[in-house]
Amino acid sequence: MRMFRSSLFPFSPVFRGPLSTTLCIALLVFFAGAGCQQYSKSEYQDIHIALIGPMTGGNADVGKAFEQGVHLYVDAVNRNGGINGRRIIIDKYDDANNPELAREAAYNMASDNKAVAVIGHHYSSCSIAGGEIYKDIGVPAITPASTNVNVTLDNPWYFRASFNDRLQGRFLANYARNVFQETTASIIYEDDSYGSYLAKVFESSFTELGNEVRHKWAFNAKARSLENELKRIVYDLKSRPDAGVIFVATHSGPGVKILTLMKDAKVLNPVMGPDAFASESFRRGFESLLKEKRNPGFYTNGMYVTTPIIFDTTNDKGQRFRDAYRKQYGRTPGWHAAFAYDSVLVLVNAIRETDVKCTADTMAEDRRRLRNFLAKMNSMDHAVEGVTGFNYFDENGDAGKPVLIGVYKNRNIISALTQFQTISNPAELAHLERARKEGRVMMFDGRFMYRINVVYTGVEMRKISDLDLKKMTCFLDFYLWFRYQGGASLNDFVFFNAVERTGDEKKSVPPLTTELLEQRQTEDGLQYFLYRVRGRFHMDHVPERFGYGEHMIGVSFRHPVMDRNNLIYVKDVLGMGESHDEQALLDHLRENQTLSPASGWLPRDVWFYQDTAAENSMGNPDYLNISGGSVDYSRFNMGIRIVPDKFILRNLIPPGWVDYMLGSSLLLLILLPFAGKPRFLRPFLRLTWILQLLLTFMLLLSAEYFLINRLAGTYFIAPVILACNILWWLIPAYLLNLSIRRFIWNPLEEQTGRRIPHIIRNAVAIFIYTIAFFGIIAFVFDQRLTSLLATSGVIAMILGLAIQINISNIFSGIAINMERPFRVGDWIRISDGKEGKVIDINWRATRIRTRDDTIICVPNSQASESAIENFSYPDEGYFMYFTLHVDPSHTPEKVKKILLDAVLSTAGVDEDPAPGVRFLGLVAGITRQSESWAANYLVSVHVQDYGQKFAVNEAVWQNLWIHMRRAGIRHVIQRRETRMVFEGIRRKKEIQDASMSILNELDIFTAFSHEEKQYLSRRMARHHFFPGEQVVRQGDSGNSLFIIAEGVVSVRIKFDARTAEMEVARMGAGNFFGEMALLTGELRTASVYSLTETRLYEITKADIAPLIENAPRISRQLSDLLTKRKMATESHKYEGDDQDFDKNTIATQIFNKIQYFFGFGQ
């Protein structure tokens, strides 16, 4: 079993003996330490943050967006260990956009007293209602969407992640005047805090600009006659030709109804809406309408709305958020999800920085510290960058986020062609008045603002070819187009990653060509430019968008003059497809084979996004007043991530599984070797071997993935990947070698009882590792094997000539292992050499251990050509023969019987084939030792272990001598007359004193004196049994001992009622049994049968009692002797089980029994 376990677990030798105990303790200490460390980090409770919003009702989509945005960030934080080991728990409360329910939800949150901060609500009325409670109990809150100024006004505990209604109302008024060039406007508004305030701000701002609000209509969204009221308003609106631009200030639900009525009534006025119209619930409000189904965007196309975020114009963080949200939830995020994401991001950052405890005793202080930290985030210097931009708050708790204008196209919001951004420091502009005259800067709501031209940009890749992975360049052929409003030359561009032709490269690198294919201007002033670009570009121009072994192909460019304050590129979602449908673009690349499959690479992902490129101003006078000396440009990026066109296993692992796979496989591999120790698991050891292979595979795979992700972009990534690739060849080779040992070599050794020669094991192992070596050369180092094999052949020839003798020995060793004239463990004699046991057959020689305990090394070539006598083949058994010279005066039947008794009772002699005795007569030459002057007898026995030949030979001769002596039969020698005289005298004496002689030879009577033995010899009774007779029966009572004078008996034990008797020993002349019954009175522990005609002496308790009473020392000596026999019997009884026997305890017990049985212990 020990050999089986060691082959089962390649690491199991480490886990044995004292080292296993040490390792167990080390593991316990490790996990206990890890637990303590975790506890030390998590001695405080988990961190609770409350999320309150419309989880039910008509705006449940907003509540769902809140929840998904929050959990997208929180789940990632928790997967990475939370905050100092503490998880973040989101406690969800529903207000259904109802102020009363919002107040109730706030009370419930306060009563629970678990949340350290609040994210919520949606409607401003709900935030105002809940804010009163937050202010009273002192809980910091951030609203992702409430825009009414009263939410944060006079409430130092409330903060806003987006702009407020005052800002968006004034922004819409200025946009209508300065961009639409409208001088008249009309307002439809809901008579609640949200709608009425927006209408008030819009009207005030619009009239301040010298314009006029001609008409206003108010409605109550909760009125029963709402439908009729809205129809009346739209009917009245249609009859007003001077209505101008229409501003609809209401929530999404009533807004859907108003827009539906206006479109059905064919009201053609330009329409503007607040941020509520940029919500998911607003867009879904039209899905059930028939006209919308037939023509998506029928009711919303061309409507302008304010929105806190447009993903086409976001930075790289925003793009990554959108991709992660789509992957997690299968839908495109709206601005509510993005601002909920940034809200929890800001709170988690504040919790980290303030190190709050979040216990019941410290909750009030923790909330105060969080509020103070948020209040200090009052400028860009203290801002936290998120997916919606930089998050910071002014003195009123409002975010410094810009208002963006989006326009609906086919149900999607895309960026309007003109955006505005506040100039935080007008002094940075060196020529402010000139910029105003050029239209780059405008006075907007009393503040200077940049006028940003939005350029819709599209790229269609036609061909990717000539990938040079050494120089990391490729040839690209693609279309590039721009669409924008106005007459400025916004179509100029400069590439960041184009290959520059310098020096010798001018001949080898083709020039970059930019061909203008089309240019036109629409009636409404929309400019369109289409180019075809061809040239070499650098790869991997976006370093964070691809992993190790992958590459990025694409282009990055900016405008050569206009910075990000006046120009921003956005993806042309109308010209390139839906903004979320990168998969369609990817399928298009694959179908058109834009990247040839012959290149060995496949496109995996496609990205289009804009970000900021900071470049040195180079002393440009227009930027002398800019702090830092760098200018930010809008950069448009198009990237295609390509992967090798081959199966990569680690790409199948979901990223969230890696840590669990690595930790669990490592822990199980450490614990698995202990699986063989419990008995109930031993039948499943083969399954654990398979499990170990799978765990090793998981460990290597997850470790590679883990290291690649952690070390990506560092100096160590290349050697780590190289090591992993080499291990992917070496570890399978190692495991294959172990599998062959476990499932081939070990079973063969167990079945045959012979060790597999090392030369065979080593040859197979060398072959496996050679294949692995060539695999590493060919696939890891990407080298051709032909040159290596040719070089190896030449080297092999040179080495072959130098070591041709050794080669002869090697092939002879292979021949020996194939023909198997002998095996490791066999006893052999080569030619006339010494006999010995084969202990090893290696690549050069065969090693033999002789009986002198010396080692003979025979070259394999010599061994294969010599005569070999194998004493262990075809099996371990062999015959031994003994020739005896006996006085012819004894009858052959008598002598054969005595000789057979002797060998049958000899330990180590096989029962099958049975021993035999032949009478050879008085003729010389029958055997080499037969003589004419004696009666010759040939005794044959079959034994198993040739290594024990001399021991068996001695045992047989000793038993032959004992049995012949008991029967009065002696060897004769050629000097017969002398021998016979002495034999006659001695025989006469032994006949007279045979019983005394038997007692002298038995060790059980060594404690008795000569006189005591004479006393016993006179009292012993004689018995005679024929073959097959039962002498004693197991379980019977008795008080006598039997001594075998002649013959052989079988000792048999029956262990329980359901099993047959099992022979545990055979005894011949000179042995005894029944000693426990004689000395302790125990029941017979075994049954004894005569195998041959047997003569016995019997000694009873009455015979020996007077002697023990007179000599107490006899009891102690007899107990020691009986202890040895008792332990031998028990070992037979429990053979195969691990049983421990205490010798001293047994001896004491027997001694006490002897004393008690004979009446001395009473």
Containing structural domain, residue 1025: 993-1162
Nearest to 890 by CA among 882, 901, 898: 898
Domain of 619: which CATH number? 2.70.170.10
pLDDT at 739 over 60: yes
Q: Is 436 exposed, middle or buried (0-12, 13-18, 19+ CB in 10 A)?
A: middle
Q: Place 550 in a pLDDT band, splitting at 50, 70 and 90.
A: confident
Q: Place 852 in a pLDDT band, splitting at 50, 70 and 90.
A: confident
Do 1033 and 1093 lie in a common domain? yes
Q: Which of residues 870, 895, 924 is at a domain's end?
A: 870
DSSP conformation class of 743: I
pLDDT at 989 over 60: no
Residue 297 lies in a domain: no
Do 966 and 1002 lie in a common domain? no
Do 1001 and 1125 lie in a common domain? yes
Do 974 and 1020 lie in a common domain? no
Q: Please state the separation of Cα 642 from the chain's center in Å.
A: 27
Beta strands in 345-487, from DSSP E residues, in sequence order: 384-386, 389-391, 404-409, 412-415, 418-422, 441-444, 447-468, 473-485
Domain of 87: which CATH number? 3.40.50.2300
Rounded CA-CA distance 1030/890 in Å is 29
- The pLDDT of 964-968, averaged and rounded, is 84
Residue type, 1125: R
pLDDT at 710: 72
Q: Place 53 in a pLDDT band, splitting at 50, 70 and 90.
A: very high
Q: Which of residues 384, 408, 435 is at a domain's end?
A: 384
Domain count, the chain: 6
Do 933 and 1010 lie in a common domain? no
pLDDT at 28 over 50: no
CA atoms within 13 A on the CB side of 247: 37
Rounded CA-CA distance 770/737 in Å is 12
pLDDT at 272: 97
Which tokens in the block code for residue 742? 């476990």
**Residue 365, C-beta contacts closer than 8 angstroms, at least 6 positions apart:** none
- The pLDDT of 719-734, averaged and rounded, is 87
pLDDT at 277 over 80: yes
Output the pTM of the full model.
Answer: 0.60
pLDDT at 935 over 60: yes
Residue 534: φ, ψ to 5°: -135, 135
Residue 325 lies in a domain: yes
Domain of 880: which CATH number? 3.30.70.100
pLDDT at 653: 73
Is-contact 1096 1023, C-beta < 8 A? yes
Q: Place 273 in a pLDDT band, splitting at 50, 70 and 90.
A: very high
3-state secondary structure of 322: helix
Do 900 and 967 lie in a common domain? yes
- Region of 410 on the Ramachandran plot (φ > 0 left; ψ -120 to 50 alpha; else beta): left
Rounded CA-CA distance 802/807 in Å is 9
Q: Please give the residue that has the higher pLDDT: either 892 or 1144.
A: 892
Using alpha carbons, list the distances in angstroms from residue 379 to 94, 163, 354, 767, 957: 33, 15, 19, 69, 109
Beta strands in 845-1001, from DSSP E residues, in sequence order: 845-850, 855-859, 868-870, 878-886, 916-921, 935-943
Residue 822 lies in a domain: yes
DSSP conformation class of 599: G
Number of residues that this document lists for the chain: 1162
Domain of 853: which CATH number? 2.30.30.60
Q: Place 750 in a pLDDT band, splitting at 50, 70 and 90.
A: confident
Is-contact 543 712, C-beta < 8 A? no
Do 815 and 900 lie in a common domain? no
Give the angle subtended at the CA of 356 by the CAs of 351 and 359, to the nearest 5°.
Answer: 130
pLDDT at 184 over 90: yes
pLDDT at 264 over 70: yes
- The pLDDT of 834-854, averaged and rounded, is 85
Residue 299 lies in a domain: no
Could you count the other beta carbons within 10 Å of the beta carbon of residue 441?
23
Q: Which of 329-338, 502-511, 979-988 has the lowest mean pLDDT?
A: 979-988
- Per residue, what are the HEC states of 767-820? HHHHHHHHHHHHHHCCCCHHHHHHHHHHHHHHHHHHCHHHHHHHHHHHHHHHHC
Residue 518 lies in a domain: yes
Do 1007 and 1142 lie in a common domain? yes
pLDDT at 301: 94
Residue 589 lies in a domain: yes
Q: Place 18 in a pLDDT band, splitting at 50, 70 and 90.
A: very low
Mean pLDDT for the chain overall: 83
Scan for tokens 């060919």, then name that residue.
778
Do 861 and 885 lie in a common domain? no
Tell me the chain's radius of gyration from C-alpha atoms.
51
Do 504 and 625 lie in a common domain? yes
pLDDT at 506: 61
pLDDT at 508: 65
Rounded CA-CA distance 221/225 in Å is 9
Do 964 and 819 lie in a common domain? no
Q: Please state the separation of Cα 919 from the chain's center in Å.
A: 76
Do 865 and 966 lie in a common domain? no
Q: Place 793 in a pLDDT band, splitting at 50, 70 and 90.
A: low
pLDDT at 800: 60
Residue 837 lies in a domain: yes
pLDDT at 89 over 90: yes
Q: Place 842 in a pLDDT band, splitting at 50, 70 and 90.
A: confident
Using alpha carbons, list the distances in angstroms from residue 758 to 12, 211, 542, 765, 854: 21, 101, 56, 10, 20
pLDDT at 758 over 90: no
Residue 213 lies in a domain: no
- The pLDDT of 940-951, averaged and rounded, is 89
pLDDT at 650 over 80: no
Nearest to 443 by CA among 177, 211, 168: 177
Rounded CA-CA distance 121/105 in Å is 10
Residue 614: φ, ψ to 5°: -95, 125
**Residue 839, C-beta contacts closer than 8 angstroms, at least 6 positions apart:** 824, 825, 847, 848, 849, 855
pLDDT at 992: 44
Residue type, 43: E
Q: Place 1069 in a pLDDT band, splitting at 50, 70 and 90.
A: confident
- Region of 535 on the Ramachandran plot (φ > 0 left; ψ -120 to 50 alpha; else beta): left
When mean pLDDT is compared over 243-247, 398-402, 416-420, the highest value belongs to: 243-247
Q: Which of residues 854, 870, 886 is at a domain's end?
A: 870
Rounded CA-CA distance 278/300 in Å is 11
